[in-house]
């Protein structure tokens, strides 16, 4: 759905959206739910890897737009794939969900207890944004992406990580807030199901806290900034990426971007970007490149992984 198409349903313009965010279009699911998108990713990963569904040990789905709280989206994907030997669970960390999940999956594999696992970031944001609020609904899109992890060698792929959270600032980005409403409740508070955002506060958080986190993680991994081949950051806004590149004094072209085509797909943004970078040959998957993966968003949550892939 292009920015122009949105002008038919709300008072907005391509100029406003693209100049502030870089977003030109987004994909909106008509009828598919989060588990449908995530299942397709799982099927593609199995086909590419040649693994059978029964060989999977675990499935993690990072999402803030699950089909339901119970069963989890990951449980639905497990059934759809026929991954009868896998345990599965959702992980809620908004736009940091993929990075958090990858860090968790890495530990599961590194423990020696599990050999093969899938990590998927999937969000159907179009069902949780308030379509009467033009300041948030234009920013988001629906999507899913993922990776398959295998225990193949003793050499770690994640060479440093730093995951962060600050629940005290959580109120600047919220969704699906529900109140106790039993016959015994003493208050009359209403639920706030749709996404709400203080855009300025989120922007400031992203450009203040996230570059520090990237530098700290690079330092842990003994990787100088110049040695990073690509920075794959959560795709919220091109202005955030521009500022990030300036703050890190790094060539802007190393910050890959595709939010112009997909909008902000929350937990799906980094794996979609990664998948496209692999398809285009920018990322080779031959162990020769150092890549920074950084998520940031609701919670507040943020985190960086330095990976050698």
List residues binding ligand ACO (CB under 6 A): 12, 16-17, 20-21, 95, 134-135, 138-139, 173, 197, 199-200, 202-203, 206, 234, 236-237, 264, 296-297
Name which of 34 and 39 has its Cβ closer to ligand ACO. Answer: 34
Ranked by CB distance to ligand ACO, the top (closest) residue is: 199
Whether 264 is catalytic: yes
Name which of 95 and 293 has its Cβ closer to ligand ACO. Answer: 95
Least distance (Å) from ligand ACO to the CB of residue 108?
A: 27
Name which of 26 and 86 has its Cβ closer to ligand ACO. Answer: 26
Q: Give the C-alpha separation, 160 to 156, whole Å.
A: 9
Name which of 200 and 249 has its Cβ closer to ligand ACO. Answer: 200
Least distance (Å) from ligand ACO to the CB of residue 99?
A: 12
Least distance (Å) from ligand ACO to the CB of residue 195?
A: 8
| Contact between 86 and 108 (Cβ < 8 Å) | no
Q: Give the C-alpha separation, 56 to 52, whole Å.
A: 7
Q: Any idea which residue has 């999956």 for tokens? A: 105
Name which of 58 and 194 has its Cβ closer to ligand ACO. Answer: 194
Catalytic-labelled residue, pool 3, 116, 213, 234: 234
Name which of 128 and 151 has its Cβ closer to ligand ACO. Answer: 128
Q: Give the C-alpha separation, 289 to 225, whole Å.
A: 13
Catalytic-labelled residue, pool 33, 116, 237, 264: 264
Least distance (Å) from ligand ACO to the CB of residue 282?
A: 23
Whether 172 is catalytic: no
Task: At 257, list the tokens.
Answer: 């971007």
The contacts found for 128-132 with CB under 8 angstroms, 24 or more apart, are 128/64, 128/65, 128/175, 128/176, 128/193, 128/194, 128/195, 129/194, 129/195, 130/194, 130/195, 130/196, 131/9, 131/10, 132/10
Least distance (Å) from ligand ACO to the CB of residue 229?
A: 24
Least distance (Å) from ligand ACO to the CB of residue 94?
A: 7
Alpha helices in the chain (DSSP H): 3-6, 14-21, 34-49, 73-81, 97-110, 134-137, 199-220, 238-247, 259-262, 269-280
Catalytic-labelled residue, pool 95, 116, 213, 237: 95
* Residues sharing a CB contact under 8 Å with residue 296, sequence separation 6 or more, in sequence order: 95, 96, 205, 206, 209, 210, 233, 234, 236, 302, 303
Three-state DSSP state, 3: helix
For residue 48, the number of C-alpha atoms closer than 13 Å in the C-beta half-sphere is 15
Strand order in the sheet with 290-297: 158-165, 301-308, 290-297, 230-233
Q: Give the C-alpha separation, 63 to 147, whole Å.
A: 15
Active site residue ranges: 95, 234, 264
């Amino acid at each position: 759905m292009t920015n122009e198409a949105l002008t038919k349903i709300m008072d907005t313009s391509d100029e406003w959206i693209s100049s502030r965010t870089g977003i030109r279009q987004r994909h909106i699911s008509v009828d598919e739910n989060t588990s449908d998108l995530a299942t397709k990713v799982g099927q593609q990963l199995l086909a590419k890897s040649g693994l059978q569904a029964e060989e999977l040990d675990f499935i993690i789905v990072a999402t803030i737009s699950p089909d339901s709280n119970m069963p989890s989206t990951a449980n639905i994907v497990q059934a759809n794939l026929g991954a009868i030997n896998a345990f599965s669970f959702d992980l809620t960390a908004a736009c940091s969900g993929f990075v958090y999940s990858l860090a968790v999956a890495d530990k599961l594999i590194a423990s020696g207890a599990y050999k093969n696992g899938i990590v998927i970031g999937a969000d159907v944001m179009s069902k949780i944004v308030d379509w009467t609020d033009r300041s948030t609904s234009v920013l988001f899109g629906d999507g899913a992406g993922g990776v398959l992890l295998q225990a193949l060698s003793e050499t770690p792929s994640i060479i440093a990580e730093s995951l962060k959270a600050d629940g005290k600032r959580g109120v600047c980005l919220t969704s699906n807030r529900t109140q106790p409403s039993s016959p015994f409740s003493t208050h009359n508070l209403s639920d706030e199901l749709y996404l709400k955002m203080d855009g300025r506060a989120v922007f400031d958080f992203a450009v203040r806290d996230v570059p520090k986190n990237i530098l700290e993680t690079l330092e842990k991994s003994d990787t100088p900034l110049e040695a990073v081949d690509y920075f794959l950051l959560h795709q919220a806004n091109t202005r955030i990426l521009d500022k990030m590149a300036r703050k890190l004094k790094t060539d802007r072209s190393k910050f890959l971007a595709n939010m112009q085509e997909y909008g902000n797909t929350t937990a799906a943004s980094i794996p979609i970007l990664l998948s496209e970078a692999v398809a285009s040959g920018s990322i080779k998957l031959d162990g020769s490149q150092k890549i920074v993966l950084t998520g940031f968003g609701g919670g507040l949550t943020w985190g960086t992984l330095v990976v050698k892939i």
